[in-house]
Amino acid sequence: MGKKHSIMVCDMKTMLHCSIVMFFLGGLATLSFYRNNNQEAVVSTNIKVTTHTTTTTITSTNANANTYIDTSKINTTQDFDHQKRLKIAPPSLTEACDLFSGRWIHDNKSHYPLYKEDECPLMHGDLACQTYGRKDSKYQQWRWQPHGCDFPRFYGKAIVEKLKGKRLLFVGDSVNRNQWDSMMCMLYSSIPGKKKLKLGLNRTLYSFRSKEYNISVDYYWAPMLVESNGDNPSNHSLDHRTVRIKSIEKHARHWVDADILIFNTYLWWRLPIIRLLKGAGSLLGGPNQVYDEVDNVRAYKMVLETWSEWVDTHIDPTKTKMFFMGLTATHSNAKDWGGKKQTTCYKETKPVTVDGFWESGTDPKLLRILESSLSKLKAKGVNVQLINITQLTQYRKDAHPTVYRRLWRPLTEEQKKNPQRASDCTHWCLPGVPDVWNELLLAYIFPTTQPASQ
């Protein structure tokens, strides 16, 4: 018996020792497992995994040449091998760099201006500042330089090739028409040889088409996106704003077949009070209108909700690229940049150089509402890219037509004596600032994976 007991005790001791050893080894294995997992987690948090097939056009610029590489056959379908994923689709420049934070650099040795005013017959006269008497031309020679990176500069021959068979449509107010004019002139100057063009006008829809390349660049007048009392593009000088805040289909049915949509709406929402029409039978501009009055910030939020619902319902984001232009500065108060009281942008010839300058006419609350609206759409899987030109336009007090433009009606004697008050400090001379907006827009339409040389 005693011997048996002794063997049992020995076995129990052995088992105890083995258990301790096994516990220790198991702890080391568990620690190693969690450590490896944590390292993998750190790697994966910095990588975006897409779950759909996309095609990408890569634009590469260097000191010697502009090279456009077509990678339309590259398939970037879902792939959970992180290292392999990084090699296939590195972050594009537009994802890796804030192109909208930077400064203006005078550069009369680069390719600015992108075209000559007198060689673009498509340009509207109210933007042709040299034609209508402006003597200085330095405003045409400024280059936007983002902090820490660059973006592909306009290389017209490659762009017109890539836009073959596409329809671009600008939708919004007269500043978006200003940008449309710029895009037309940029493309027109890039089409070689004799141009075969078709120009069309259907009250609110303006068209420019290159027959050789089958490119349509259109503009649709809808200053408030929804139906409004400003829907007549040639007769809309009003002291109030009235809208059908839920009625967008009348305009939007003209937008659905575009390959690239570029929206804006801002200038017409700056009046403090907006009238919201009530009842289907109440006519816009009619004598017996029934309406509610709301502040402009609330009304701006409401119209973007209506627009967002329409986009979410009617546009397939896998087929149509969508963009929304940021707010633009209106330099009507020279006190903002240290000028004299009761003066405007008239005779200004240099940009503001103070970093972060913000003029008093631009309401940041409206920009925040726009950013929030686009974020909500993105959460639903609908990507509308904000081209946030707001800050870069703040500096350019020198780039407006002022009185150097085609006038709808002759200046009165009083206006001639005080050109400050008659100056257009809202729109932009061409060539000029809107050309840079289009360069930024094209950087997003055709994203690049390699930053250009400084």
Higher per-residue confidence, 79 vs 18: 18
Mark whether 427 is an active-site residue. Answer: yes
Q: Tell me how far apart the alpha carbons of residues 320 and 229 are, in angstroms, rounded to a whole number.
A: 29
What is the pTM assigned to this prediction? Answer: 0.78
pLDDT digits (tens, 9 = 90+) for 1-29: 444 444 343 444 444 454 544 544 455 44
pLDDT digits (tens, 9 = 90+) for 99-113: 999 999 998 887 899
Q: What is the pLDDT of residue 80?
A: 27
Mean pLDDT of the chain, nearest integer: 81
Number of domains making up the chain: 1
Q: What is the pLDDT of residue 118?
A: 93
Identify whether 123 is part of a domain.
yes
Mark whether 312 is an active-site residue. Answer: no
Identify whether 13 is part of a domain.
no
Terminal Cα-to-Cα distance of the chain (whole angstroms): 92
Cis peptide before 431 (omega within 30 of 0): yes
Q: What is the pLDDT of residue 284?
A: 74
Question: In which domain, by residue range, is 215 found?
Answer: 56-445
Question: Are 215 and 209 in contact, with CB atoms under 8 Å apart?
Answer: yes
Mean pLDDT of 182-194: 92
pLDDT digits (tens, 9 = 90+) for 424-450: 999 999 999 999 999 999 999 998 644
* Helices and strands: H and E segment counts in the chain: 12, 14
Instruction: Please give the torsion angle defined by the CA atoms of residues 71, 75, 78 and 81, in that order, rounded to the nearest 10 degrees.
Output: -80
**Hey, what amino acid is at 335?**
K
pLDDT digits (tens, 9 = 90+) for 226-241: 999 999 888 877 788 9
Mean pLDDT of 174-201: 91
CB atoms within 10 A of CB 428: 27
Identify whether 48 is part of a domain.
no
Q: What is the pLDDT of residue 234?
A: 82
Q: What is the pLDDT of residue 445?
A: 95
Backbone angles phi and psi of 295, in degrees to 5: -70, 155
Higher per-residue confidence, 4 vs 332: 332
CB atoms within 10 A of CB 93: 24
Identify whether 16 is part of a domain.
no
**Hey, what amino acid is at 7?**
I
Q: Is the pLDDT of residue 34 over 50?
A: no
Mean pLDDT of 119-135: 95
Annotate 29-44 with b (16+ C-beta within 10 A) or e (fewer).
eeeeeeeeeeeeeeee
Mean pLDDT of 197-225: 88
Q: What is the pLDDT of residue 424?
A: 96
Identify whether 74 is part of a domain.
yes
Q: What is the pLDDT of residue 48?
A: 30
Identify whether 6 is part of a domain.
no
Q: What is the pLDDT of residue 192?
A: 85
Q: What is the pLDDT of residue 255?
A: 97
Q: Is the pLDDT of residue 331 over 90?
A: yes
Query: Which residues on adjacent β-strands are paired with residue 57?
Result: 70
Annotate 211-238 with b (16+ C-beta within 10 A) or e (fewer).
eebebbbbbbbbbbbbbbbbbebeeeee
Least confident of 53-62, 156-165, 285-294: 53-62
Strands lying side by side in the sheet with 291-295:
242-243, 273-277, 291-295
**Active-site annotation holder among 126, 181, 336, 424:** 424
Residue 300's Cβ-count burial label (10 Å; 0-12, 13-18, 19+) is: buried
Q: Is the pLDDT of residue 280 over 50?
A: yes
Identify whether 125 is part of a domain.
yes
Mean pLDDT of 286-307: 92
Given pLDDT bands bounded at 50, 70 and 90, which one contains residue 131? very high
Identify whether 51 is part of a domain.
no
Q: Give CA 64 to chain center in angstroms.
A: 29
Q: What is the pLDDT of residue 298?
A: 98
Question: What percentage of the chain has pLDDT greater than the value 90?
Answer: 62
Q: Tell me how far apart the alpha carbons of residues 435 and 140 are, in angstroms, rounded to a whole number.
A: 10
Residues 6+ apart with CB under 8 A from 449: 56, 58, 60, 90, 91, 92, 93
Backbone angles phi and psi of 42, in degrees to 5: -65, -40
Q: Is the pLDDT of residue 96 over 80?
A: no
**Active-site annotation holder among 173, 174, 228, 398:** 174
pLDDT digits (tens, 9 = 90+) for 40-76: 333 333 323 222 322 222 233 333 333 222 323 323 3
Least confident of 203-212, 247-256, 356-365: 203-212
Q: What is the pLDDT of residue 205?
A: 85
Mark whether 174 is an active-site residue. Answer: yes
Q: Tell me how far apart the alpha carbons of residues 248 and 306 are, in angstroms, rounded to a whole number.
A: 7
Q: What is the pLDDT of residue 448?
A: 61
pLDDT digits (tens, 9 = 90+) for 386-413: 999 999 999 999 999 999 999 878 888 8
